Structure 1
Amino acid sequence: MVKFWRKQLEISTHQTNPAETAVNISEVIRQKSLVAYFQPIMSVTGKKILGLEGLIRGIIPGSDQLIAPKLLFDAALAGGLTIELDRACRDAVLAAFHDYHQANPDLLLFLNLDTAIIDEVGGSNYLCDQVRRSGISPKNIVIEINESKALDTRGLSQFVTTYKNKGFLIALDDVGAGFSNMDRIAGLKPDIVKIDRSIIQDMDRIYHKQEVFKSLVNLTNKIGALIVAEGVETRAEAIQVLKLGGQVIQGFYFARPGNDFVLKAELIVKTAEVVDAYKTLLLQELEDYNQKCLAYTHTVNGMIKALAVVDRPDEFDGQLHKCLVHAEAVDCAYVLDESGIQCSDTVGAKNIGACEKLVFHSAKMGVDHSIKNFYYNLIKRKQDTYISEPYVSMATGSLCITYSRVFRLAAQKYILCVDFLETQQPQPISF
């Protein structure tokens, strides 16, 4: 549980100064001088509270002053009492969760486990005994583990298998942060995958984070796991999670952790507001997309009209240069023959050659594009037009989409490929 307890330092209003207070960790454990906090985990599309994540604050015995989590766990480590403190923390969380469980028997408790202790205690039955004594069914308990902190990979796998067989749910925590091993996700077969705040933060504005999140959603879907977006703090981030396939959200946007958490109706109302905002965004994006496609089509039609007047394919380059002089929204353009071989140079408007990184380079005449979607969908599926999803152009490193269209010259079939910059709204241009 160490990770989450330490992460929530800012919620404490009576926190002691670690430099001034020495923690008697033995007394804290003996007197169970601990208080449980909870943060809701929201099923946004289901418009319900899926579960609560439990975390802990230590209290100086005989006072109401909270102990800084780092000080608490550092003291336990120094005193060789990490396992004892971890168990005491779980006892406090399970006891505090009991009333919530009584009010809603379907509610899940996300119970953090210090993965490092698995290397020491292995698959002991202590956790099972704790849960049994609490009167809560294992099916309501989600054991959160951070796989990157476990040194004994085989022991971790055995632990996960053992507790899944006992009816517990397993969640991998902090996925996407630091050195999270993607191979272990498939190997451990978790029920839940929690995506770290480092991926979620500003995901509504950062394209690369969006692609990482989409990849994680695809992976978890394929292994039959549920994805939880952690650390969502803004409506824009929440909407982006929904847009990219996530459905369950945890973070300050819905509620900060607290020791007096109430299953408030306001939380459900807030999920409905997010869903409504997402629907509005979808409609707006659809309208924007339709407008962009009209502009794309106008531009491509004009370019094909210009290419159709030449006598030979070796004149394509000159016509493309003329077309793109004022095409601010075009990254680059080129022509393929019917077999997918590039028969023109890659001609750019503004950004060609702008990227200095050697990994990015424009395709030259003679390059084979026959395995690319913008060729395959036109020729093999006999479509007239293809518009790709946004991607990073290997020509310039810019975010773009490829619009490809079949045209004919002297009874020969060719394909015009135009890469439009996604950062700009294309405007119709005249030729």
Structure 2
Amino acid sequence: MLLDSHFQPIYSLAHRRTVGMEALLRATEAGQALSPLQVYERYIRRDERVALDLAVCEAHCRRYADMPQQQPRWLFLNVDAMTLSDAKQACELGRIISDSGIAPQRVVLEVLEQAIELDARLIEGVATLREQGCLLAIDDFGVGHSNLDRVCSLEPDFVKFDRNLLRSAVTQQRTRNLLSRLVRLMHEIGALVVVEGVETDSDVVVALDSGCDLVQGFYVARPSAVPDADTLITPRLDAKWDELMNREMLRRKLNRRQLELSRQAFVQTAIALMQGSEFRFAAQPMMALPDVIRCFLLDDEGRQKGPNLNVRQLSEADTLRFAPIEDTTGAVWSRRSYFQHAIDQPGVLYMSEPYLSMTDTRTCVTLSMSIEIDEAMHVLCADVLLPR
């Protein structure tokens, strides 16, 4: 059996250049290619698996050290959790890295998220290599039963999202929204996000739109003994970035137009209320807009006065599904940002960030303004859908 190393670029969207290389095992036997899984399945005993893992890492390091280095880049090494869970073998891996001539600070150790068990041995092994300077990446996050507590406890420098998460985000809007939120969540725990499996035009657009930091996949560059240079990679991604920006500019233009119409109608409603008009009549300018979902009125403590004025009615099936939360009369919305901002700045129109409505689980923004009605402070609110 012949073993070899190929490398796949990991590309920074912000820097517009390759910032890392993932080392990948390539094996052949009698002229037939073997997958890494087929290779490792031949070594069942723990000591055999760990020995093979160390030998492969050593081969990757030596091969990578021999490659011409024009800019500083990370070397991403796939390491079996069993290797890291053995303090002695973790130290041996550290020695292999040092002997190769690669600075430990340039090595990122990839561990499969599903293989992680938060026991003292694994944490000790990771700590040993981190003390030496190595970085840590959690690989294949988002596949199966991902565990945020498991990820947070190891405090990784990188989290690599599983390709199936990207596949789902391409075809399902909800998963696409979730992808962006997961990126922000990983940023909050201090990890950079790599989206793997970027292979098609649609994959690139979704990855770019997610706010991730780094991308990897066949669209960027295929694994190779001599991987593509940035002179080939960057023009491909720049073209997609320009396409996305043009689309985003059009979407923002439509949003601005829609929201401007909503603001104008909202102000008309507020003026009518302050002049003594009944709510259902005063709200007619807002209710006439196609993207307004509902209008409602709060007192100065955030308690809703009367029912919602609904514009966009739910289907009969959804009405039954959300019946327990349909009636919001007397509900207290004082913890919502749209109420707090309105109370803090009377007469100033506020627009919330997009959020999930508690009334019918649709994503919307809320326009709000604190106004005086019959010498008492009230907050006028309107939920508005944003175009996709």
Q: Does TM-score exceed 0.5, indicating one fold?
A: yes
Letter in 2 for 1:54: A
Provide the rounded CA distance (Å) in 1 between the counterparts of 2:38 and 2:301: 68
Could you tell me which residue of structure 2 aligns to residue 345 of structure 1? 307
Select 2:24's aligned residue among 48, 52, 55: 55
1:310 Cα deviation after fit? 5.2
Name the residue aligned to 1:399: 363
Q: 2:15 aligns with which of 46, 67, 84?
A: 46
Cα displacement (A) at 1:237: 4.1
Alignment check: 8 A CA contact 1:116 1:151 kept = no
Aligned to 1:183: 149
| Residues 135/59 of structure 1: CA separation in 2 closer, same or farther (3 Å cut) | same
Query: How far off its partner does 1:138 sit?
Result: 1.5
Q: 1:112 and 1:154 mapped to 2: Cα distance? A: 21
- Given that residues 116 and 150 in structure 2 are in contact (C-alpha distance below 8 angstroms), is that contact kept between their aligned partners in structure 1? no
Q: Deviations over 1:308-353 (max 9, x none)?
A: 5656xxx535765x66775442222211123322112022223347
Q: 2-side partners of 1:56 and 1:236: how far apart?
A: 28
Paired residue type of 1:35: D
Measure the CA separation in 2 of the matches of 1:204 and 1:79: 39
Deviation per CA, 1:7-50: give whole Å up to 9, x if none. Answer: xxxxxxxxxxxxxxxxxxxxx3xxxx112222110011101110
Specify every segment of 5 or more residues in structure 2 that has no aligned partner in the other structure, as ranges.
Answer: none
**C-alpha distance in structure 2 between counterparts of 1:90 and 1:383, whole Å:** 64
Helix, strand or coil: the match of 2:64? helix
Rounded Cα–Cα distance in structure 2 between residues aligned with 1:356 and 1:57:
56
- Farther-moved stretch of structure 1 (270-279 vs 330-339): 270-279
Partner of 2:218: 252
2:342 maps to which of 375, 378, 381: 378
- Are 1:157 and 2:123 counterparts? yes
Aligned counterpart in structure 2 of residue 316 of structure 1, from 279, 290, 304: 279
Distance in 2 between the 1:116 and 1:351 partners? Answer: 56
Counterpart of 2:249? 283
1:85 maps to a residue whose letter is L
- For the Cα contact (< 8 Å) 2:364–2:383, is it kept in 1? yes
Structure 1 position 281, deviation (Å): 3.9
* Same amino acid, percent of matched pairs: 26
Structure 1 unaligned blocks of 5 or more: 1-27, 425-431
Contact 1:175/1:193 (<8 A) preserved:
yes
* One-letter code aligned to 1:228: V
Q: Which piece of structure 1 moves more, 174-183 or 74-83?
A: 74-83
Q: RMSD of the alignment, in Å?
A: 3.0
CA contact (8 A) 2:322 2:359 kept: no
Q: Is the 8 A contact 1:351 1:396 kept in 2?
A: no
Contact 1:175 1:194 in 2 (8 A): yes
SS in 1 for 2:65: helix
**Corresponding residue pairs, total:** 386
In the TM superposition, residue 67 of structure 1 has moved relative to its aligned partner by 1.6
Q: CA deviation at 1:85?
A: 2.6
Give, in whole Å, the separation in 1 of the partners of 2:357 and 2:229. 48
User: Structure 2 vs 1, CA of residues 151 and 187 (structure 1 numbering), >3 Å: closer, same or farther?
Assistant: closer
For the 8 Å contact 2:139–2:159, the answer to whether it is kept is yes
CA shift digits 1:286-306 (9 cap, x unpaired): 312211212212443454466
Partners in 1 of 2:60 and 2:320 — Cα distance? 54
SS at match of 2:326: coil
Give me the TM-score of the superposition, normalised by structure 1. Answer: 0.79
Report the CA distance between 1:116 and its aligned residue. Answer: 3.4
Q: Alpha-carbon deviation of 1:162? A: 0.8
Q: Distance in 1 between matches of 2:203 and 2:280?
A: 44
TM-score between both structures, scaled by the size of structure 2: 0.86
Q: Which moved more, 1:70-79 or 1:287-296?
A: 70-79
1:84, CA displacement in angstroms?
A: 2.9
Corresponding residue to 1:99 among 66, 81, 85? 66
- 1:117-163 alpha-carbon deviations (Å, 9 max, x no partner): 43456654221232233222222211111243133522121112111
What is the aligned counterpart of 2:105 among 119, 125, 139? Answer: 139
Q: Which amino acid aligns with 2:61?
A: L
Taking the aligned partners of 1:182 and 1:50, their CA distance within structure 2 comes to: 26
Structure 1 residue 369 and structure 2 residue 333: aligned? Answer: yes
Q: 2:55 aligns with which of 88, 105, 113?
A: 88
